[in-house]
A and B are shown apart, each in its own frame.
Chain A
């Protein structure tokens, strides 16, 4: 069973992801800020990290840089409400960039593609 770590400060949304991805057969772990996500990656690296960008304290883009510094093999999906962050070249090092939607199929496809090694 693949382990997915979700970092999103929006607790309700994180709960939705947790439910849906558990249904899909993943083992899901949720944190609500970037700092905790970094610690979790250090202690117990997941198979995939889903990272929100706008979070209190350190934002997801900065966190992405730290995390890739620790483990540059870790697949990361940036999942954000704002499509324009895509213009920021710092986001290009993520394996996928998904704009948040109530329809989780895009996110699920991205997860599947990244975990099976197909680039999105």
Chain B
């Protein structure tokens, strides 16, 4: 089963890698590359820092962050050249992929946000550069578009952050919506008669109208199509070059879709393209003869370059998302497989043992056998009962019944309960607590369950003895009580640290792999947190933070 899972993972990552490299290759060869010189060294440090902070706090581990940062600063990646952004994206994607295993939709949302920011940053820089080199008039228009785009981006970014849950099902960058808005903004801010956006459908060699705005909005049927090579738009798509038909009434290439279109006297159509492929076209109409000039061509070209980016991103997102879904699905299946193997093991072993000893007693009830069998049978029944409790606790958490409890006493009780007979295994126990510790409201039964799970793990981590220290701390000005349970076992290996709070994850061959998950659930239902630290010298600590309710309203 493990192998199948690994293979699938491998196939998915390779597919994704080739997808990414293809994307990277295309981007490298588009006109964007020309901007490279403009951008190199121009990324303000604070912007860089902001990205890195986002990455380090939310996305990657510190090591990954330092590596990425080092690569960027060493000049291996030029800060925020388009190339650098691609690599940064790919690095981020890889990180996201890695962490996908955790089902962190959170990370996905943050990643979307970063992508949006990077792309917004591009748009802005690009317009800034362009504006400087062009006339005052055009500059103002461009700034206006940049502003509108920035507003769009911001809106999308807001959506991303606010709707993290809805986003699991829906793509944040809903490309249709973005295209619809863009054509509307273009139509309104330039006051064109009509604006249409066409996409090429490769397999049919046709163009589909994806979005439209202006006087003919109602006249074009939904999903209006035209053949590549026919009409002004068809010619633009076929050649990859813009056409400015300032007397379109007399242009032989023109196709009239409906009679009212005759009111249009001039047509300007600009391709949306990458270096090797025409993706579509942006078509604008004017009721005036000679209604367009080269300024229009220039600003629309800028816009279609942006659109090419949006389309790239949208495609990439779509494909990435599909792959992610597959991956998530396969993980679910493997979790179910793992779960059934574990449960089969956990139930069948004790049952076989109980039944086997019972049968053996039936056959030969000698006194010594009765003794052994009775001991083993009751021990195995306890094991089954614990299993049942674990599964029930996990799938159907009980209501909390809070009562004020003296934590040090409770912990000592649990230690003695779990550690019964373990003194001879050489485990030294120590417990410290502040003398003025207030009584803490917890559900004693459930909280004991948490401590039992943690103590058991600690004992199992030290089969040859060691030290077990429990520190209870209450710091001034901090609204919580901290319980640290530290053992001197081998610690928690880095490679499993991401896994230990996952259901059915365990390093042991017995047990359900639910102990820590349930413990975390219970602590969180107390409005607390459960975390861990692995110490470089030796051992691991589990931290429980409980809110100090003595300073708050009574429950």
Contact = CB atoms under 8 A, between A and B. Distances in A.
B341 A103 contact: no
A82 B353 contact: no
A88 B2 CA distance: 10
B349 interface: yes
Contact of A12 (B341, B376, B509): B376
A73 interface: no
B490 interface: no
Given A81-B345, A84-B341, A12 B359 contact: no
Interface string A1-25: 0000000011011011001100100
B358 A102 contact: yes
Contacts of B510: 9-10
A10 B353 contact: yes
A12 B379 contact: yes
Interface in B475-534: 508-510
B348 A12 contact: no
Contact of A100 (B352, B358, B359, B509): B352
B258 to A, nearest CB: 63
Interface residues of B, number: 28
Contact of A20 (B351, B358, B360, B379): B360
B349 A81 contact: yes
B509 A9 contact: yes
B356 A54 contact: no
The secondary-structure label for the interface of chain A is loop
Nearest to B341: A82
A76 B50 CA distance: 61
A102 B349 contact: no
Nearest to A88: B1
A101 B344 contact: no
A80 to B, nearest CB: 8
B39 interface: no
B261 interface: no
Contacts of A68: none
A84 B339 CA distance: 12
Contact of B344 (A9, A16, A55, A81): A81
Contacts of B341: 54, 82, 84-85
Contact of B380 (A12, A20, A88): A12
B334 to A, nearest CB: 13
A12 B345 CA distance: 14
A26 to B, nearest CB: 15
Given A12-B379, A16-B356, A16-B357, A100 B372 contact: no
Contact of B351 (A9, A23, A102): A102
A103 B356 CA distance: 6
Contact of A56 (B351, B376, B380, B508): B508
B509 A55 contact: yes
A16 B354 CA distance: 9
Contacts of A13: 349, 352-353, 356
Interface in B343-374: 344-345, 347-349, 351-360, 364, 369, 372
B348 A84 contact: no
Contacts of B357: 16
Nearest to B377: A12
B129 interface: no
B340 interface: yes
B509 A56 contact: yes
Contacts of A99: 348
B493 to A, nearest CB: 14
A85 B1 CA distance: 9
Most buried by A among B352, B358, B364: B352
Contacts of B353: 10, 12-13, 16, 102
B278 to A, nearest CB: 50
Contacts of A102: 351-356, 358-359
29 contacts: A9-B510, A10-B353, A12-B379, A13-B356, A16-B352, A16-B353, A16-B356, A16-B360, A16-B376, A20-B356, A20-B360, A23-B364, A55-B509, A81-B344, A81-B345, A81-B348, A84-B340, A84-B341, A84-B344, A100-B348, A100-B352, A101-B355, A102-B353, A102-B354, A102-B355, A102-B356, A102-B358, A103-B359, A104-B359
Given A15-B372, A16-B353, A102-B358, 13 more contacts: A12-B379, A13-B352, A13-B353, A16-B357, A81-B345, A84-B1, A84-B337, A84-B340, A99-B348, A100-B348, A100-B349, A101-B352, A103-B355
Q: Which 9 A-B pairs have the closest CB atoms?
A: A102-B355, A81-B348, A16-B356, A81-B345, A82-B344, A100-B352, A12-B376, A13-B353, A12-B353
